[in-house]
Amino acid sequence: MYDRLTLISGRAHPALAQEIADYLGLPLGPVELGNFPDGEISVRLEHNIRGRDVFLVQPTGPPVNENLMELLIIIDACKRASAERITAVIPYFGYARQDRKDAGRVPITAKLVANLITKAGADRVLTMDLHAAQIQGFFDVPVDHLYAGPILDEYFQSLRLPRDEIVVVSPDEGSIKRSLQHVSRLGGRLAIVDKRRSSATETKQANLIGGPIEGKTALLFDDMISTAGSIVGAAEVAKAHGAKDIYISASHAVLCGPAVSRLREAPVREIVVSNSLPIPPEKRLPNMKIISVAPLLGEAIRRIHRNESVSKLFD
């Protein structure tokens, strides 16, 4: 069934790549990865991939520049080794925040990175929970865009929370559509935190719209937790408005800067994230639940390889 499929991992998240390989019942293709003395990345494929359908697993999270450059170099190596098709499996797509010109004299890095990946030789991209859905259109190759939301919701459903006690809280206006999808699966009401951005790194949470939330269980969803300022601020607003229990959840646990200390002090019962990015032991908190997306990515890879529909997995 997989006689022409080759699965390769970069150094960004080998544990996730191994989980995907286990789901598919395949070994990871051997690749020699290292660095020259000056820091340049060295790549050598240690097996024949001529005419094969190659899937390269490499999220471009921190260190972003290192992981992105490694992705491009491995794609180039696969192209020059005569792979028939190369799919870049990027569970977390870095450089996605700047997806438009919202000020004068700024770049559109999401488009730049899409161009780099395409020019390097990728024939297809498989990604998950892009920071902005329109980034799919930045690529000149097919993009399969998956969502971790249903998998995260399955976990919350397993907690048997009463539907009439749930309030799904959108941490900002931009997350309303995502929050409504969670409401449709989990039940409950929708509330929105009015967030005002004061700089590129600082936000201020103001009012809570909707609800009521007093005595209820608040579930906060976002696409990523970076410095955790937004989602922890939203949790504090929910607490101030009388929420009984608070859970926060995100597809991508970037966890940079003061994120871990903020999450440790946040008034939340549990932090639920996916393993789209590696989470080192020092960043794992006692109340953190990590949900694997390997079956989702593995099933998408299986369907793409066999030219079957992937649209069912988008939901």
Please give the pLDDT value at position 202: 58
Question: Does the annotation mark 239 as catalytic?
Answer: no
Tell me the per-residue pLDDT of 117-128, one tens digit each, with 9 for 90 and over: 999 999 999 999
pLDDT at residue 200 in the model: 55
* 168 vs 155: CA distance, rounded Å: 15
- Predicted confidence at residue 204, as pLDDT, reads 58
Mean of the pLDDT values across residues 165-194?
Answer: 92
Tell me what pLDDT residue 57 has. 98
Q: Name the average pLDDT for the chain.
A: 94
pLDDT of residue 195: 64
Percent of the chain's residues with pLDDT above 70: 96
Assess contact for 20 and 57: CB atoms under 8 A: yes
Q: Set out the domains of the chain in order of their start, with CATH numbers.
A: 5-147+294-314 (3.40.50.2020), 149-291 (3.40.50.2020)
* Mean of pLDDT values over 164-193: 92
Give the model's pLDDT for residue 312. 80
Q: How confident is the model at residue 270 (pLDDT cuts 50, 70, 90)?
A: very high
Mean pLDDT of 23-51: 97
Of residues 224, 110, 96, 92, the one with CA closest to residue 171:
224
What average pLDDT does this structure show over 172-184?
Answer: 90
Instruction: Give me the amino acid identity at 115.
Output: N
Q: Which of 195, 244, 283, 289 is catalytic?
A: 195
Q: What's the pLDDT tens digit per position in 84-114?
A: 999 999 999 999 999 999 899 999 999 999 9
pLDDT tens digit sequence for 187-214 = 999 999 986 655 555 555 568 888 789 9
Position 72 pLDDT exceeds 90: yes
The 10s digit of each residue's pLDDT in 208-267 is 888 789 999 999 999 999 999 999 999 999 999 999 999 999 999 999 999 999 999 999
